[in-house]
Amino acid sequence: MPPTIDEFVALRGEALLRFALMLTGSRPAAEDLVQAVLAHAYPRWGHIRDLDRPEAYLKRMVVNQHLRWHRRLWRGEIPTASPGGERPPTVDDGAEERASRDETWRLLAGLPRRQRAVLVLRYYEDLSDTEIAMVLGCRPATVRSQAARALATLRAAAPNGRTATDGPRPRKEETLR
């Protein structure tokens, strides 16, 4: 028997939230995004749960809702560095690694939403161009061009012209620490 929406959220809700976090770069925004999608999915759950891949359907809803939100009031919101500025670390406490991760978030947040979605789907979800095209409702060639533009933007803005995508892909657990 397919799971109820409560059972699905108990089993896969955190994964859906992590996915939304990769798209938004902000935990509160990710929570709002997932909540909006689940509220929209709730009355249709009988149909969604009978699909071959209900989680993939919900992820597509998350991406679509995220792309739509650019028209909302958040449109003028510009990500900024955290208050307090940067201070040189006095001990090896992982601050350099966190600063690098913060810089990556800042660079990703500066990308157009569709380009960011392409990179998240490619490097976090490990989807092929064809699968990404299905999620975004476009052609694989569009996915490739969006990814190329996004990576070029990241390389131009990144120190030393390198991006996290130039090296080995981090495991999903490492991206959220």
**pTM for this prediction:** 0.62
Q: Quick: pLDDT tens for 164-177.
A: 555 544 444 444 44
Q: Report the C-alpha gap between 60 and 63 in whole angstroms.
A: 5
Q: What is the CATH number of the domain that holds 106?
A: 1.10.10.10
Average pLDDT over all residues of the chain: 79
pLDDT tens digits, 107-116: 888 899 899 9
Statement to judge: residues 2 and 58 lie in one domain: yes
Please give the residue that has the higher pLDDT: either 133 or 88.
133
Amino acid, single-letter form, for residue 148: A
CB atoms near residue 119 (< 10 Å) = 22
Domain count, the chain: 2
58 and 105 belong to one structural domain: no
pLDDT score, position 70 = 60
Q: For 17-34, write each residue's pLDDT tens digit.
A: 999 988 888 899 999 999
What are the CA-CA distances from residue 64 to residues 36, 81, 117, 140 (Å)?
11, 27, 10, 17
| Structural domain boundaries enclosing 9 | 1-74
Taking phi first (over 0 means left), then psi (-120 to 50 degrees means alpha), and beta for anything else, what does residue 163 get? beta
**Residue 12 DSSP label:** H
Q: In angstroms, how far is the first alpha carbon of the chain from the final one?
A: 35
